[in-house]
Protein backbone atom coordinates (compact mmCIF):
# COMPACT_ATOMS: atom_id res chain seq x y z
CA UNK A 1 0.00 0.00 0.00
CA UNK A 2 1.19 3.48 -0.83
CA UNK A 3 1.16 6.47 1.53
CA UNK A 4 3.47 4.89 4.14
CA UNK A 5 7.07 6.00 4.71
CA UNK A 6 9.79 5.94 7.37
CA UNK A 7 11.44 9.23 8.25
CA UNK A 8 14.70 9.48 10.18
CA UNK A 9 14.94 12.69 12.16
CA UNK A 10 16.77 14.46 14.98
CA UNK A 11 14.56 15.67 17.83
CA UNK A 12 14.91 17.59 21.05
CA UNK A 13 12.51 16.57 23.82
CA UNK A 14 12.04 19.03 26.67
CA UNK A 15 11.65 17.34 30.05
CA UNK A 16 10.38 18.92 33.26
CA UNK A 17 12.77 18.68 36.24
CA UNK A 18 10.15 16.71 38.18
CA UNK A 19 10.65 13.88 35.66
CA UNK A 20 14.43 13.90 35.80
CA UNK A 21 14.51 10.61 37.73
CA UNK A 22 12.81 8.80 34.84
CA UNK A 23 13.81 10.56 31.66
CA UNK A 24 13.02 7.57 29.44
CA UNK A 25 9.41 7.53 30.57
CA UNK A 26 9.13 11.28 29.95
CA UNK A 27 10.51 10.86 26.43
CA UNK A 28 8.12 7.99 25.66
CA UNK A 29 5.21 10.04 26.91
CA UNK A 30 6.20 12.96 24.69
CA UNK A 31 6.66 10.82 21.60
CA UNK A 32 3.40 8.94 22.24
CA UNK A 33 1.55 12.25 22.20
CA UNK A 34 2.45 12.49 18.49
CA UNK A 35 0.71 9.24 17.54
CA UNK A 36 -2.31 9.19 15.20
CA UNK A 37 -2.23 12.93 14.66
CA UNK A 38 -1.26 14.83 11.54
CA UNK A 39 2.05 16.59 12.13
CA UNK A 40 2.81 19.52 9.87
CA UNK A 41 6.54 19.28 10.55
CA UNK A 42 6.70 15.70 9.26
CA UNK A 43 3.82 16.19 6.78
CA UNK A 44 2.05 13.03 7.85
CA UNK A 45 0.28 11.09 10.58
CA UNK A 46 2.75 9.48 12.99
CA UNK A 47 1.86 5.77 13.34
CA UNK A 48 4.90 4.39 15.19
CA UNK A 49 8.39 5.33 16.32
CA UNK A 50 11.66 4.09 17.73
CA UNK A 51 14.37 6.25 19.24
CA UNK A 52 17.83 6.41 20.73
CA UNK A 53 19.72 9.07 22.68
CA UNK A 54 23.34 9.08 21.47
CA UNK A 55 24.16 12.13 23.60
CA UNK A 56 23.89 11.49 27.34
CA UNK A 57 24.17 15.20 28.16
CA UNK A 58 21.09 17.40 28.46
CA UNK A 59 20.94 21.16 28.08
CA UNK A 60 19.12 23.05 30.84
CA UNK A 61 16.79 25.80 29.66
CA UNK A 62 16.55 28.88 31.85
CA UNK A 63 13.18 30.27 32.82
CA UNK A 64 10.47 30.06 35.42
CA UNK A 65 10.43 26.30 34.96
CA UNK A 66 13.97 25.19 34.06
CA UNK A 67 13.20 22.41 31.56
CA UNK A 68 16.11 20.46 30.13
CA UNK A 69 16.36 19.31 26.51
CA UNK A 70 17.33 15.78 25.48
CA UNK A 71 18.56 15.23 21.93
CA UNK A 72 17.22 12.13 20.19
CA UNK A 73 17.50 10.26 16.93
CA UNK A 74 14.13 8.84 15.95
CA UNK A 75 12.62 6.82 13.11
CA UNK A 76 8.97 7.69 12.50
CA UNK A 77 6.48 5.64 10.49
CA UNK A 78 4.33 8.20 8.67
CA UNK A 79 1.00 7.95 6.88
CA UNK A 80 0.70 10.69 4.29
CA UNK A 81 -1.72 9.80 1.47
CA UNK A 82 -1.66 11.98 -1.63
CA UNK A 83 -4.05 12.17 -4.60
CA UNK A 84 -3.79 9.22 -7.03
CA UNK A 85 -2.07 6.99 -4.46
CA UNK A 86 -3.45 3.49 -3.87
CA UNK A 87 -4.77 2.70 -0.39
CA UNK A 88 -6.37 -0.38 1.13
CA UNK A 89 -9.25 -0.46 3.58
CA UNK A 90 -11.74 -2.88 5.11
CA UNK A 91 -15.39 -2.22 4.26
CA UNK A 92 -17.50 -1.59 7.38
CA UNK A 93 -20.66 -0.18 5.78
CA UNK A 94 -22.11 -0.27 2.29
CA UNK A 95 -25.21 1.36 0.79
CA UNK A 96 -26.47 2.45 -2.61
CA UNK A 97 -24.95 5.90 -1.98
CA UNK A 98 -21.48 5.04 -0.67
CA UNK A 99 -18.90 2.51 0.54
CA UNK A 100 -17.34 3.21 3.95
CA UNK A 101 -14.05 1.55 4.89
CA UNK A 102 -11.38 1.80 7.59
CA UNK A 103 -7.74 2.32 6.56
CA UNK A 104 -4.98 1.00 8.84
CA UNK A 105 -7.49 0.60 11.66
CA UNK A 106 -7.89 4.32 12.38
CA UNK A 107 -8.57 6.43 9.27
CA UNK A 108 -12.02 6.64 7.71
CA UNK A 109 -12.33 6.19 3.95
CA UNK A 110 -15.46 6.89 1.87
CA UNK A 111 -16.20 6.22 -1.80
CA UNK A 112 -19.44 7.81 -2.97
CA UNK A 113 -21.66 6.37 -5.71
CA UNK A 114 -20.35 8.86 -8.28
CA UNK A 115 -16.83 7.46 -7.72
CA UNK A 116 -17.86 3.81 -8.17
CA UNK A 117 -17.41 2.70 -11.77
CA UNK A 118 -20.42 1.57 -13.79
CA UNK A 119 -19.13 -1.99 -13.87
CA UNK A 120 -20.50 -2.47 -10.35
CA UNK A 121 -24.20 -2.63 -9.59
CA UNK A 122 -25.71 -2.51 -6.14
CA UNK A 123 -27.97 -5.34 -5.02
CA UNK A 124 -29.27 -6.90 -1.82
CA UNK A 125 -28.86 -10.59 -1.07
CA UNK A 126 -30.16 -12.22 2.13
CA UNK A 127 -30.73 -8.75 3.58
CA UNK A 128 -27.12 -7.72 2.91
CA UNK A 129 -26.08 -4.96 0.53
CA UNK A 130 -23.24 -5.62 -1.89
CA UNK A 131 -21.71 -4.46 -5.15
CA UNK A 132 -21.30 -7.07 -7.88
CA UNK A 133 -19.33 -6.64 -11.08
CA UNK A 134 -21.37 -7.03 -14.25
CA UNK A 135 -18.20 -8.17 -16.03
CA UNK A 136 -16.81 -10.62 -13.45
CA UNK A 137 -19.57 -12.14 -11.30
CA UNK A 138 -17.05 -13.33 -8.70
CA UNK A 139 -15.82 -9.76 -8.15
CA UNK A 140 -17.95 -8.80 -5.15
CA UNK A 141 -17.61 -6.00 -2.60
CA UNK A 142 -19.47 -6.36 0.70
CA UNK A 143 -19.02 -5.68 4.42
CA UNK A 144 -15.74 -7.29 5.48
CA UNK A 145 -14.15 -7.04 2.02
CA UNK A 146 -10.70 -5.43 1.85
CA UNK A 147 -10.68 -3.04 -1.10
CA UNK A 148 -7.98 -1.16 -2.99
CA UNK A 149 -8.95 2.36 -4.03
CA UNK A 150 -7.42 5.57 -5.36
CA UNK A 151 -7.05 8.62 -3.11
CA UNK A 152 -8.93 11.75 -4.17
CA UNK A 153 -8.25 13.87 -1.09
CA UNK A 154 -7.20 13.61 2.57
CA UNK A 155 -8.64 15.76 5.36
CA UNK A 156 -5.80 16.17 7.88
CA UNK A 157 -8.11 17.53 10.59
CA UNK A 158 -10.35 14.48 10.90
CA UNK A 159 -8.05 11.98 9.11
CA UNK A 160 -10.72 11.30 6.50
CA UNK A 161 -9.86 9.89 3.06
CA UNK A 162 -12.06 10.47 0.03
CA UNK A 163 -11.50 7.74 -2.53
CA UNK A 164 -12.44 6.40 -5.94
CA UNK A 165 -13.15 2.99 -7.51
CA UNK A 166 -13.25 4.37 -11.06
CA UNK A 167 -9.89 2.89 -12.24
CA UNK A 168 -10.07 -0.74 -13.33
CA UNK A 169 -7.18 -1.76 -11.06
CA UNK A 170 -9.27 -0.98 -7.98
CA UNK A 171 -11.83 -3.12 -6.14
CA UNK A 172 -11.74 -6.22 -3.97
CA UNK A 173 -8.13 -7.19 -3.23
CA UNK A 174 -8.95 -10.91 -2.98
CA UNK A 175 -10.26 -10.82 -6.53
CA UNK A 176 -7.61 -8.47 -7.95
CA UNK A 177 -4.68 -10.42 -6.48
CA UNK A 178 -6.13 -13.92 -6.29
CA UNK A 179 -8.81 -14.68 -8.84
CA UNK A 180 -6.95 -12.92 -11.64
CA UNK A 181 -3.98 -15.25 -11.12
CA UNK A 182 -6.33 -18.23 -11.12
CA UNK A 183 -7.96 -16.98 -14.30
CA UNK A 184 -4.55 -16.75 -15.99
CA UNK A 185 -3.73 -20.29 -14.90
CA UNK A 186 -7.06 -21.62 -16.12
CA UNK A 187 -6.62 -19.90 -19.48
CA UNK A 188 -3.44 -21.95 -20.04
CA UNK A 189 -5.39 -25.18 -19.84
CA UNK A 190 -7.68 -26.73 -22.45
CA UNK A 191 -10.41 -29.21 -21.61
CA UNK A 192 -11.85 -31.64 -24.13
CA UNK A 193 -14.55 -34.26 -23.56
CA UNK A 194 -13.78 -37.69 -25.04
CA UNK A 195 -16.42 -40.00 -26.60
CA UNK A 196 -15.84 -42.62 -23.88
CA UNK A 197 -16.95 -40.24 -21.12
CA UNK A 198 -13.48 -39.12 -20.08
CA UNK A 199 -12.14 -35.58 -19.87
CA UNK A 200 -8.73 -34.91 -21.32
CA UNK A 201 -6.91 -31.99 -19.74
CA UNK A 202 -4.00 -30.62 -21.68
CA UNK A 203 -1.68 -27.97 -20.30
CA UNK A 204 -0.42 -25.81 -23.14
CA UNK A 205 2.90 -25.49 -21.39
CA UNK A 206 3.28 -29.28 -21.08
CA UNK A 207 2.99 -31.80 -23.88
CA UNK A 208 1.93 -34.63 -21.52
CA UNK A 209 -1.75 -35.46 -21.16
CA UNK A 210 -3.64 -36.81 -18.15
CA UNK A 211 -7.02 -38.50 -18.37
CA UNK A 212 -9.58 -38.57 -15.57
CA UNK A 213 -12.45 -41.06 -15.74
CA UNK A 214 -15.94 -39.80 -15.00
CA UNK A 215 -17.30 -43.32 -14.50
CA UNK A 216 -17.97 -44.25 -10.87
CA UNK A 217 -17.39 -47.69 -9.33
CA UNK A 218 -21.02 -48.71 -9.75
CA UNK A 219 -20.93 -47.98 -13.45
CA UNK A 220 -17.61 -49.85 -13.81
CA UNK A 221 -18.95 -52.97 -12.09
CA UNK A 222 -22.09 -52.83 -14.20
CA UNK A 223 -20.10 -52.66 -17.42
CA UNK A 224 -17.97 -55.66 -16.36
CA UNK A 225 -21.11 -57.63 -15.53
CA UNK A 226 -22.51 -56.79 -18.90
CA UNK A 227 -19.35 -58.03 -20.64
CA UNK A 228 -19.40 -61.27 -18.65
CA UNK A 229 -23.01 -61.84 -19.68
Model confidence at 25: pLDDT above 60 = yes
Number of domain units in the chain: 2
- Look over the chain and give the mean of its residue pLDDT values, rounded to a whole number: 81
Kindly state whether residue 220 falls inside one of the protein's structural domains: no
Contact 106, 92 (CB under 8 A): no
Q: Are 117 and 52 within one domain?
A: no
Kindly state whether residue 136 falls inside one of the protein's structural domains: yes
Span 43-71, pLDDT tens digits: 999 999 998 876 666 666 666 567 788 88
Whole-number percent of the chain with pLDDT over 90? 56
Model confidence at 142: pLDDT above 90 = yes
| Neighbour tally for 208: CB within 10 Å | 6
CATH classification at residue 22: 3.30.1490.120
Q: Are 120 and 166 within one domain?
A: yes
Q: Are 89 and 75 within one domain?
A: no
Q: Are 101 and 173 within one domain?
A: yes
Span 79-119, pLDDT tens digits: 999 999 999 999 999 999 999 999 999 999 999 999 999 99
3 state DSSP class of 187: helix
Whole-number percent of the chain with pLDDT over 70? 72
Which pLDDT score, from 0 to 100, does residue 58 have?
A: 62
Q: How confident is the model at residue 143 (pLDDT cuts 50, 70, 90)?
A: very high
* Residue-number span of the structural domain to which 141 is assigned: 85-178
Question: Exposure string (b/e) for 130-142, b if CB count within 10 Å is 16 or more?
Answer: bbbbeeeeebbbe
Least confident of 80-89, 106-115, 121-130, 171-180: 171-180
Which pLDDT score, from 0 to 100, does residue 114 have?
A: 96
Rounded CA-CA distance 126/124 in Å is 7
Q: Which pairs with CB-CB distance under 8 Å and at least 24 residues apart come from 198-203?
A: none
Model confidence at 167: pLDDT above 90 = yes
Q: Are 60 and 8 within one domain?
A: yes
Which pLDDT score, from 0 to 100, does residue 4 have?
A: 96
Amino acid sequence: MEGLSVSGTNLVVYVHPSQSKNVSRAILSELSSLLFKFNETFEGVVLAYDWSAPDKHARILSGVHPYFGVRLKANLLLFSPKPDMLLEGKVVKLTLEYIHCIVLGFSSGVITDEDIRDEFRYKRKHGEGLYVSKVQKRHVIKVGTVIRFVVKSFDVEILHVSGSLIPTHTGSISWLDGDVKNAITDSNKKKRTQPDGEIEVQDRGNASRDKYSLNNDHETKKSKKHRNA
